């Protein structure tokens, strides 16, 4: 029964994030009965050497690639927040999105970016994603975020 499974949540800045969010043990974790939920914060519409590629087309391709990879890894659900790549704002709106997901899925384990990694050449989406989770996890009372943070059904 899905409700009885422990939940692992992977929060990645982009659909193409591989090395900065360690997921190599995910298939084994899923095989042990955990439910895996992916949260992808940006739409991956940037970063191609192809001059003919449009941002819109690239976002569609990357979303499908992420869905295909999730099937192989055993991911139960993917949530695409859809922020434009490079424009993820580290602020209350983004924080509220993440808090709503925590309250909805109640994960036992969250894997995300280390906000202190690459401090000399930070990547804003990675830093912001990791920082928001760090801020939330260090709060003495998660109820601190009360305004507009109820789960959406």
Please tell me whether the overall predicted TM-score, pTM, comes out greater than 0.95 for this model.
no
Helix axes 124-138, 92-105, angle to 10 degrees: 60
Q: Kindly state the average pLDDT of the residues 131-146.
A: 52
**What is the reported pLDDT for 20?**
47
Predicted local confidence at residue 63, as pLDDT: 92
Average pLDDT of the segment spanning 64-89: 88
The structure tokens listed for 35 are 């439910």
Q: Return the CATH superfamily for domain 2-144.
A: LmbE-like (3.40.50.10320)
Tens of pLDDT, residues 19-66: 445 566 677 778 888 899 999 988 988 888 899 999 999 999 999 998
CB 47 within 8 A of CB 16: yes
The residues spanned by each domain of the chain are: 2-144
The reported pLDDT for the residue numbered 52 is 94
């Amino acid at each position: 029964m899905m409700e009885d499974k422990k939940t692992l949540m992977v929060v990645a800045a982009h659909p193409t994030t591989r090395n900065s969010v360690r997921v190599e043990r995910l298939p084994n974790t899923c095989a042990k009965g955990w439910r895996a939920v992916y949260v992808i914060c940006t739409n991956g519409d940037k970063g191609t050497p192809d001059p003919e590629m449009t941002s819109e087309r690239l976002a569609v391709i990357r979303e499908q690639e992420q869905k295909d990879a999730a099937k192989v890894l055993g991911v139960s659900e993917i949530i695409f927040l859809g922020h434009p790549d490079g424009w993820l704002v580290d602020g209350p709106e983004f924080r509220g999105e993440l808090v709503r997901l925590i309250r909805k899925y109640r994960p036992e384990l969250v894997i995300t970016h280390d906000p202190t990694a690459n401090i000399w050449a930070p990547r804003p989406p990675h830093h912001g994603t990791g920082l928001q989770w760090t801020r939330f996890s260090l709060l003495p009372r998660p109820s601190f975020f009360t305004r507009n943070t109820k789960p959406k059904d």
